[in-house]
Structures are given as C-alpha cells and as structure tokens.
Chains A and B, each alone.
Chain A
Amino acid sequence: MSSPNRAELLQMFRTTASEIVEKEFASIEEATKITELGIDSLGMLEIIGSLERQLKIQIPDESLAGLTTVRDLIEAVEKRFKVQS
C-alpha cells in the first residue's frame, strides 16, 4: 500500500471518527486539539484501532502519549508508515 498523503489521512480521520462516534466531524482541521473533539479516551482508542486496521500499521502506545492535536496523531501515523514500509 502506497503511503497516503496528509490530506488523505485527515479525511480518513474525519470519516473514521464520524463512524465510530456517530457525530459529524467535517470541520476538523489538523490544528484542532484532540480535547476539543468531544471524544473520550476510549473513543479515541477505538478510532486509532480502526485506523490501524485500515492502514495495516501498528502504532505503539508510547507514541500515543502526549498527542495534543489532530496533526500530532497524523504525524504519528505517517511515522509508522515510514518504519513499516
């Protein structure tokens, strides 16, 4: 699987978040803080689990701690692509 670009990852995050949390997240941008999404930590982990499955990657727990914005998460995903491909 070729590496998706950041715009695609952001779109994937929006879609996945909407599916799992059953709310609309069209207005999310990279700079949006995760705490402002209104998704609890369980919900976030569900979303990450789904992204991992879709992209066939595994994000280690350590790189999840300290994520503040959606950009941080997208960068963590990108990094795994570089490591695993």
Chain B
Amino acid sequence: MYVDPTLVPPTLADALRERAKRAHRGFTFVRSDASERYMSYPDILKEAERRGAALYARGAKKGDRVALVIPDGDEFVLTFLGAAISGLVPVPIYPQLSFKNVEGYHDTVAHIVSAAGAQLLVTTETTAPFVEPVKARAAGLREIVVASSFADQPHERVDVKVEPGDLGFLQFTSGSTSKPKGVAVTHGNLAWNSQCFIQQGLGRDDTDVGVSWLPLFHDMGLIGFLIGPVFTDIQVVFIPTANFVRAPRVWLEALSRHRGTITYAPNFAYALVTKRVKDRDVAELDLSCVRHAGCGAEPIQARTLREFADRLAPTGFRPEAFLPSYGMAEATLAISFGDRRGMGEKARGLRTDVVVQKALEAGEATAAAPGSEGSQEIVNCGRAFPHHEMRVVKPGTFEALADRQIGEILFRGPSMCNGYFQDAEKTAESFKDGWLHTGDLGYLVDGEVFICGRSKDLIIIRGRNFYPGDIEWAVSELPRIRRGNVVAFGHEVNGDEQLFLCAEAFQSDAAGLIEEITQLVNEQFSLNVHHVELVPQGALPRTSSGKPQRRKAKEMFVQGAFAKMRNKGATEAAT
C-alpha cells in the first residue's frame, strides 16, 4: 500500500507550487564565464509553466517522454521542471563531451531516445549541431526543439493533474557493458527519497544552502540538488561541471562566498581538490560554513577524505562534515547515509571499520586492530532510512546472512523504483519479490552497511574472494601507473580462475614494470598474478564518466585486441 510521505509534498508539481508561494528562496546559476543568474522560486515556477505549455503546444501529451540534451544549468533546470510539473516525463541525456568518439555518442543518444520512446528532444542552440545526426537514427523522434524558442511562448499553464504514481522522469544509467537502462522514477519515489535524504539524512534547517557542480543528467546532481531542494525548500548554487574540472577551486570559492552548508561529490573530486588547490586559495577561503560534505557515487577511500580535511583545515573545514553515502538510481538516489542522526545530535563524520584482509577473501569481515598488518579499512555507509530496509543475503538466494558476513545487499521501501522503463526482462533480473537486488556485495554491523564491491566483478581464486577495486587501487600507487589506468579481472585458465591485470603504460618500461606489479600484488594480497598486459595509453575502454570498464576490458583482452596492439607497436618500432 502506497502512503504519501509526511514531511514533503506528494509530487514535484505540488512541491514547486508550494515553494513559489514565497519569494525568499531560489536557485543561483553560475555560468561558464563566472557570471551569476539568480531566480526566485516564483520566477522558476512561472518560467517552468511556460515551458511545459510550450511542449504541449508542440504536441506532447501527459505521460509523453521528452529527451533533454542541455548543458547549461538554468536552461536544463527550467525545462526539466517545466516538463515534470506538466505531467511529461523528462529524460536527461549527457551532452557530448568534447574529444570523444562522436559516432559512439550518437549511437548512445539514439538508443536512449528510442528506448524512452521520446518524440521530442530539447537542446540548446550551441548543442543542436551535435544532436542533429540522432534524428536519422532514432525512428520515433519527431522534432528537435531549441530551448530558446520557448521565449516565443506566452505564459500559460497546462491544467494537468500530476499524481504520486505518475512517472517523474527516466534515469538512464550507464551500464558498463550493456546499453543504458532507463530507471522509471515516479513522483512518489522522488517525494519519499527527498524526505529521506534531506529531512532525515541531512537534518535540513532554514539556513541551508546547497552548492553543487555535479552534472544534472546524473542522479546525484539531479535529485540531490534540484529535485530534493524543491521538495524541501532549500537554496542552491549550481556551478557548471566543466568549470569545476578546469579549476577545482571554483567549488570551494562558491561554498565560501555563498556560505554553502551542503555539498556532495564523488571520491575522485576530493582527491582532485587536494592535489590542485594552492596555499594562496586555502588562505583566502572560509569553509567553516560547511555542515555536510557528502561523498558517494563511487567507492569511498577513507584516506582521500582525510587528506582533503588536512589540506583544508586552515579554512575551518570540519572533518565531521564528511558524510559517506550509499545509493543507486534504482533506489531513486539514496539508500543509506553514514551519519544519519536526529536533530541536535553531534556529527560524527567519517567512520570506518578495520577488518582482516585475509578474512574478506573467505567472505567474512572480521574486525582487526586499526593499522595492524594485513588489515583493510572499509567506510561505514550507515543505516537505511525510516520506512526502508536493507538486508544482506547469500548471493542468488534470499537467505539472510549474519552480521559481518559478506553477501549481496537487498533494499526495499517507498524509494525503490518499480523497474526499468518498458523492459520486463531487465526488471525481473534486479527487482524480485518486492526487493531490489543491488548487485553490490557488502556486510552489515548493527544495521550499518559496509560496501565491498560489485558482485559481477568479484574475482574468486581458489575459493578466495578479491574485489578488483582493491587490487587496482594498490597497483595505481606505483609511480609509473596513473590512478584509473588499471583494470583487474578474473579469467579461466584450464578450468581455474586466474588473476589478470591490464595497465596503460609505455612499452619501453615493460619488463621492469610487470615485475613490479606482480611483486606488489604478491606482497599485498599473497596472490599470484597470472598475466599483466601493458597496453598503450588510451587503450582501456571507459564509461562516459571516464571510469575504466572492467568487463569490456576483459572482453577485449580475451579477443586478443590488446595483443594485436602490442604486436603492431613492436612492428612499428622495428621498422
């Protein structure tokens, strides 16, 4: 039985209309040239209604999907909200990253547009030429609409009732080998999850200001900083993602200048800041305002967060602000927060569990003394939100495991989506008997969850379990290897699974480097490396966010694609 959440309005449409009753809060959009545009909630509602009406004027009807390829924050937010509050279903798609394979991009966009059954695609003038070729490849796509054309639409409001069970938007997730799948997210899911992570997770208060450079076509930026804040009445400052990557200090400057209290980023971003920020910047910033510095969307390394806190200590940044989080698109966004607490309770920041590395191999997380030899630190991602449950089971079964036994994490509650849009087969694989099978391996201790890795990537050698991320992390510590340029996977050799590593490096270093890698893995994991393949720079396949794709890399290796590159290189060198 579906019940509405009690602390937030039941749909995004109700939420935005509620917000627009008062003009004291709104969104600030930083542009790529660093200028800012502020819009109050009433202005946002008015413009969103106009855009919704403009889409209906172009033939859209309630429930129709509308693809969005919009790099600019304000244009994206206004069009997304306009569609969603008018009963349409926006489908955010990432804008083309420069320097990428253009053909592959068009294929992905065409796939998403077709899978969503979108007849309209909204883009901007500058982006239009990059999506134009998609029209020929996506059969159902009727029209590409340029957002600036909405300016011609007179202000009117489409009179459509939006219900909690209606689709709010489709979140396409970039599977590592498979084509992206569209998670069907309802307004009810969005309301519940917003209540969970902002009211109960962050303990929202009236002084909160969110600051985000996260992409808006991805759940952490979209729900975390656009949808959640509309449900819960929070001010937000949006920075273009590219501005942050070009100059990471813009994130810290915006936090300092706008007195930001809530921000979020994946692990890599904290590492990037630590590496790039200058002493002069540190001296000028005041980050004592930050209450929550969330970390999610990829494996969290305790060391990265500690280094960030040390580097930024002079700014008044408090390490208690760290908030490790666990979630996924199929659960709307958030599943658990590392430090969920009641109002007025003291923040605890980063908390970790130290376990015996050897025991992990046997599927047990046995506690070890911090810093002891052969131990490994795992970040605490906290407990499920009220009305939601997490369970750890023996993979492939519903058999619950005891605390500290590693198994597959299951999740259920009103934030759980119903499945993938018009894809019964994929839905049946992950959504079973009312539970979301996350595909993540981890363990519980007193209801708090610790994530070990993806079950599909697990390497099992002679009954010992290894998480490729752990091995890759260790290998990338070598001076000649760059983080993110190593892939570890298991592959069967004469009936036994063996460890294989592919790393990007120069062939001139080959012999010595292979020896170094083999020795390091041997020392740290007491594990024999069956084969190290050094591949040319840029050879490892990557996702749209730049992470190496393990399964694809394994496939390329098995098909001999890397060996071919190596032989080609050798021939060229000889001639």
Contacting residues of chain A (14-69) with chain B, CB-CB under 8 angstroms = 21-24, 34-46, 48-49, 52-53, 58, 60-62, 64-68
Given A37-B538, A38-B536, CB of A62 within 8 Å of CB of B126: yes
Given A40-B484, A42-B546, CB of A65 within 8 Å of CB of B96: yes
Contacting residues of chain B (470-487) with chain A, CB-CB under 8 angstroms = 482, 484-485
Given A41-B546, A48-B246, A53-B247, CB of A67 within 8 Å of CB of B537: no
B274 → A minimal CB distance (Å): 14
A49 & B537 in contact (Cβ 8 Å cutoff):
no
A17 → B minimal CB distance (Å): 11
Given A41-B546, A45-B242, A62-B126, CB of A35 within 8 Å of CB of B99: yes
B200 → A minimal CB distance (Å): 33
A64 to B97, CA, bound (A): 9
B98 & A65 in contact (Cβ 8 Å cutoff):
yes
A68 to B102, CA, bound (A): 10
B247: contacting residue among A37, A38, A41, A49, CB under 8 A: A49
Residues of B close to A40: CB separation below 8 A: 484, 542, 546
Given A24-B506, A65-B130, CB of A38 within 8 Å of CB of B98: no
Residues of B close to A36: CB separation below 8 A: 537-538
B246 & A49 in contact (Cβ 8 Å cutoff):
yes
Given A49-B246, A65-B130, CB of A41 within 8 Å of CB of B536: no
A41 to B242, CA, bound (A): 10
**Chain B, interface size: which category?**
20 to 34
A22: contacting residue among B71, B245, B246, B482, CB under 8 A: B482
A58 to B31, CA, bound (A): 13
B454 → A minimal CB distance (Å): 20
A45: contacting residue among B246, B504, B542, CB under 8 A: B246
**B568: CB under 8 A from chain A?**
no
Residues of A close to B272: CB separation below 8 A: 46
**B33: CB under 8 A from chain A?**
yes
B538 & A67 in contact (Cβ 8 Å cutoff):
no
Residues of B close to A22: CB separation below 8 A: 482
B553 → A minimal CB distance (Å): 14
B101 & A35 in contact (Cβ 8 Å cutoff):
yes
A38 & B537 in contact (Cβ 8 Å cutoff):
yes
User: Which of A35, A52, A61 has most B Cβ within 10 Å?
Assistant: A61
B97 & A41 in contact (Cβ 8 Å cutoff):
yes
B538: contacting residue among A38, A42, A65, CB under 8 A: A38
Closest to B505 in A: A23
A41 & B100 in contact (Cβ 8 Å cutoff):
yes
Given A45-B242, A65-B98, CB of A38 within 8 Å of CB of B32: no
B98: contacting residue among A23, A24, A64, CB under 8 A: A64
Residues of A close to B485: CB separation below 8 A: 38
B538 & A39 in contact (Cβ 8 Å cutoff):
yes
A49 & B245 in contact (Cβ 8 Å cutoff):
yes
A7 → B minimal CB distance (Å): 22
Residues of A close to B556: CB separation below 8 A: none
B245 & A23 in contact (Cβ 8 Å cutoff):
no
Contacting residues of chain B (21-51) with chain A, CB-CB under 8 angstroms = 32-33
Residues of B close to A53: CB separation below 8 A: 247
**B529: CB under 8 A from chain A?**
no
Closest to B243 in A: A49
A8 to B392, CA, bound (A): 58
Contacting residues of chain B (52-78) with chain A, CB-CB under 8 angstroms = 71
Residues of B close to A39: CB separation below 8 A: 537-538
A67: contacting residue among B71, B98, B247, B546, CB under 8 A: B98
B245: contacting residue among A34, A45, A67, CB under 8 A: A45
Chain B 557-574 against A: per-residue CB contact (8 Å), 1 yes, 0 no?
000000000000000000
A61 & B242 in contact (Cβ 8 Å cutoff):
yes
A36 → B minimal CB distance (Å): 6
A5 to B538, CA, bound (A): 28
A73 to B33, CA, bound (A): 19
A42 to B485, CA, bound (A): 13
Chain B 85-115 against A: per-residue CB contact (8 Å), 1 yes, 0 no?
0000000000011111100000000000000
B33 & A44 in contact (Cβ 8 Å cutoff):
no
Residues of B close to A41: CB separation below 8 A: 97-100, 546
B245 & A46 in contact (Cβ 8 Å cutoff):
yes
A44: contacting residue among B98, B240, B539, CB under 8 A: B98
B296 → A minimal CB distance (Å): 18
Contacting residues of chain A (57-85) with chain B, CB-CB under 8 angstroms = 58, 60-62, 64-68
User: Which of B33, B247, B504 has most A Cβ within 10 Å?
Assistant: B247
Residues of B close to A66: CB separation below 8 A: 98, 130
B126 & A23 in contact (Cβ 8 Å cutoff):
no
A44 to B242, CA, bound (A): 11
Given A41-B546, A60-B32, A61-B71, CB of A46 within 8 Å of CB of B98: no
Contacting residues of chain B (488-545) with chain A, CB-CB under 8 angstroms = 504, 506, 536-539, 542
Residues of A close to B97: CB separation below 8 A: 41
A26 to B98, CA, bound (A): 23
B32 → A minimal CB distance (Å): 5
Chain B 206-248 against A: per-residue CB contact (8 Å), 1 yes, 0 no?
0000000000000000000000000000000000101001110
A37: contacting residue among B96, B242, B276, B537, CB under 8 A: B537
Contacting residues of chain B (237-294) with chain A, CB-CB under 8 angstroms = 240, 242, 245-247, 272, 276
Given contacts A46-B272, A61-B242, 12 further A-B contacts (CB under 8 A): A21-B482, A38-B538, A41-B100, A44-B98, A44-B99, A45-B245, A49-B245, A58-B33, A60-B33, A64-B99, A65-B98, A65-B126
- Residue pairs across A and B with Cβ atoms less than 8 A apart, 9 shown, are A35-B99, A38-B537, A41-B546, A46-B245, A46-B272, A49-B247, A52-B247, A61-B240, A64-B98
Which 7 pairs of residues, A with B, have the shortest CB-CB distance?
A38-B537, A49-B246, A38-B538, A40-B546, A45-B245, A41-B97, A64-B98
Give the B-binding residues of A (Cβ under 8 A).
21-24, 34-46, 48-49, 52-53, 58, 60-62, 64-68
